Amino acid sequence: METVFEEPDEESRPKVTSLRERMALDQGAQVNFPFSILFSTILYCGEAASALYMFEIYRNNNDIFWMSFTIGFIVVGVVLDQVTLMFFYKDSTRNKAVLLFAHILLLGPIVRCLQTIINYQKVLKKLTQVKKGSQVSIKRRKMMMEREIVHSIHGVFVQCKAFKYMSIIQAFLGSIPQLTFQLYITLTIREWPLERALLMTFSLMSVTYGAIHCNILAIQIKYDNNNIKLHPIEFICIMIWRCLEITSRVVTLVLFATSLKLKSLPFLLITFSISLLAPWLEFWTSGAHLPSNTTKKFNPVGTVLILIVITLLYAAINFSCWSAVKLQLSNEEVIDKTQKWGHRTLHYSIRLLENVTMILVFKFLGGKSLLNCCDSLIATQLIITYLLSIGFMLLFYQYLHPGWSGKALSEHTENEPEPM
């Protein structure tokens, strides 16, 4: 799932050429195929294609309301994907025009995925050439090839990083609204066609994958951007935790909304606004200034706009699941690296209370009118599902977290405190 090469620190920039060369050549066997980029691209294509197909079905059936929201959510998602890839990746001069045209056609992720796979094949070929000709090649020619290899590996690394952010933004600003809306349609008209089920499956996979990346990025931030490779049992635990958490949350929100219709909007807006405004209230009450590392790159207006976008994404993540980090606008790095248990406990306590409240509203006001099965059974299953997700979360952080396991971050865990 992770990148193929670890980017060196900025402080070691004067020695970076020789260091990268040694690491690229001595550890050439560790250059892995960028599966994360390929999987992100497959999710992007699958969700977009299934959404367009559902759009065509709604249009043929003259369902203008369903059609408008379906195409609206997918357009927002794919446009944000293009912007994210262009923002986090500095294109080379020779490819800039081609990539820009691809992004205009909304094909940016596909073109970049193919580009990364081609670069990966070139890296393998060059590494083979260096190993075979290392004893007979001229030293200067060998050094030039080594630097070219390092440059290609670094390009793949940057591309993987950009796709990680794209997966998160696509998941929580495009896929989660789409999943919620399609489930709302299903419960409203009581039909479950294969096409809509396919769209909801891709959306659920996208949201779960984005939530997993939230966990990975949180670990990387905590341990100074080190390369993280989750073991199978760790990945399975996170996947089950996130899938249960997101599924129970989305179903609860939809049942609540279908029970009260427009009367549910004030509660949902207040819940979302609390997550959106909480970081800014904490920033204003602390009397701190804007992060200096951000103001150096942008003017004050641009800095505020960037922080607003980050806060919007943070609120969207927290609305459906735990973000795995705490946004702290007064911090120079914007993200709080301590990741205390108090923040985690507060989030899940509030979300559990909200879910129970919405489930009770569904049970007493709309259960029998929505589903043909026992509403008490549905309510109980949703609460148990969310509690199970909390259980898997505790299991991961108590026993499987790389910081405690000592498998992925052994150089950082020597001085770590014991887990709670």
State pLDDT tens for residues 265-311. 999 999 999 989 988 888 888 776 766 655 556 667 777 788 888 89
**So what's the pLDDT on residue 40?**
93
Residues of the chain with pLDDT under 70: 1-31, 89-95, 129-152, 154, 224-228, 288, 290-299, 366-373, 403-420
What's the pTM value of the predicted model, to 2 decimals? Answer: 0.83
pLDDT value for 271? 92
pLDDT number for residue 14: 39
Q: CB of 396 within 8 A of CB of 234?
A: yes
Q: Is the dihedral of CA 298, 302, 308, 309 positive or negative?
A: negative
pLDDT at 420: 37
Alpha helices in 61-175 (DSSP H): 64-88, 93-104, 108-133, 139-170
pLDDT score at 338: 72
Element (H, E) at 181: helix 176-189
Residue 159 CB partners (closer than 8 Å, separation 6+): 34, 37, 89, 112, 115, 116, 119
Q: What pLDDT is stored for residue 50 in this prediction?
A: 94
**Confidence (pLDDT) at 75:** 93
User: In this predicted structure, what is the pLDDT of residue 13?
Assistant: 40
pLDDT of residue 199: 94
- pLDDT score at 387: 96
